[in-house]
Amino acid sequence: MLLSIIIVSYNTKDLTLQTIKSAISDVNNSKLLKNNAEIIVVDNNSTDDSIKALNNFKLKSKFPLIILKQKQNLGFANANNLGLTKAKGKYIFFLNSDTIVRHSALETMVSRFEADKNRKGESIEKLGILAATLLNSDLTVQPQGGSFPTLTNLFFHMSMLDDLPIIGTLLPSTQDTGKNSKQLSRYSLSNNLTTKLNNLIELDWVGGTAMMIPKTALNEFGTLDQNIFMYGEDMEICIRAKNHHYKVAIDPDAQIIHLKNQSSSSENAIRGEFAGYLFIFAKHKNKAQMEMLRVILQIGAILRIFIYSTIAKNKFKRTIYSKVLADLNN
């Protein structure tokens, strides 16, 4: 088996089926992957008849589809790691349930790894983690990933300095998804996204939305950290990959539509982001840096509470960041 696609589902019945169908279509249209791939769906105890719908689809489909149901929702990393225990593929593709795989994306990514495996020069870093280019529903590029978190770039991020015109373009950012995303300038895509760029876009970390990793690499630097319920597990595994001298990159020629925030609430995403930084610093940094981080995150939460209370009045966002601040003070 060349490729195992792992999809975590939680109350996203229709979206999950759409993702599966797009992945199957892409596999079946690939000479490299046809009859050489499988899909593993791990359901995090959904209550929306996801399992029934998946089983009905499996009965009608001839594609190798494994369905695993958890008795409780133990989080994104836990579910992916459960799927990994059943995976037979040489390459593991972690794929969100709110995505649509575009033509040849999967073959393109597998081919990147196969070419990297066969290249000469052992001193060159091996390709360890490869993310697809994420697109919004209107087919514009959706930035992802960024620089590893440090006290400096987290200060720029939390103070929103990295979003300022001109100045922001010169500052490093943990999240390369703001107004001054440096990643977007590295894409030279035509309007119909058919231009081949060939060169990978290397970053410190990439998003876990559509992330491919060779199983041999996972055996070396480890699987997703199950201590993170959701958000931050992609950044953390990239830190370990880099520590083992693996490259982390985005493939500009493999494109996947991501229906952003449709598989999780924005409150979970925001609170999870802050909690993820705390966990990563606790695991990879010293105690003094951890305490300084907490202050920076508190400043970030207070600033956003002020903004959403006065300038850009938004009661929903203000409430979320009030909860974030309470989390940080506990």
Backbone angles phi, psi at 156, to 5 degrees: -60, -40
188 vs 71, which has greater pLDDT?
A: 71
User: What are 87-134's pLDDT values in tens digits?
Assistant: 999 999 999 999 999 999 999 999 999 998 776 555 457 999 999 999
At 254 the pLDDT is: 96
Q: Is the dihedral of CA 31, 258, 214, 199 positive or negative?
A: positive
Q: How far is Cα of residue 61 from the mean position of the Cα atoms in its chain?
A: 28
Across residues 304-329, what is the average pLDDT? 95
| Residue 54 tokens, joined | 């998946």
Angle at 11 between CA 232 and CA 231, to 5 degrees: 5
Percent of the chain with pLDDT over 90: 80
pLDDT tens digits for range 221-248: 999 999 998 889 999 999 999 999 999 9
pLDDT at 75 over 70: yes
pLDDT exceeds 50 at position 192: no
Distances (CA, A) of 129 to 1, 123, 159, 204, 223: 19, 18, 30, 10, 12
**pLDDT level of residue 36 (50, 70, 90 thresholds):** very high
Question: What is the set of domains in the chain, with CATH numbers?
Answer: 3-146+183-262 (3.90.550.10), 268-329 (no CATH)
pLDDT of residue 6: 98
CA separation for the pair 8, 263 (Å, rounded): 10
Report in angstroms the alpha-carbon separations of 231 from 64, 76, 191: 29, 8, 31
The neighbour count for residue 257, using CB atoms within 10 Å, is: 23
Does residue 196 register a pLDDT over 70? no
Mean pLDDT of the chain: 91
For residue 116, the model assigns a pLDDT of: 85
Q: pLDDT band at residue 280, thresholds of 50, 70 and 90?
A: very high
Amino acid 111: pLDDT: 96
Residue 29 has pLDDT above 90, yes or no: yes
Percent of the chain with pLDDT over 70: 93
CA distance 8 to 261: 14
For the stretch 144-162, pLDDT in tens is 999 999 999 999 999 999 8
What does residue 4 show for φ and ψ, rounded to 5 degrees? -115, 120
Angle between helices 287-309 and 266-284 (to 10 degrees): 160
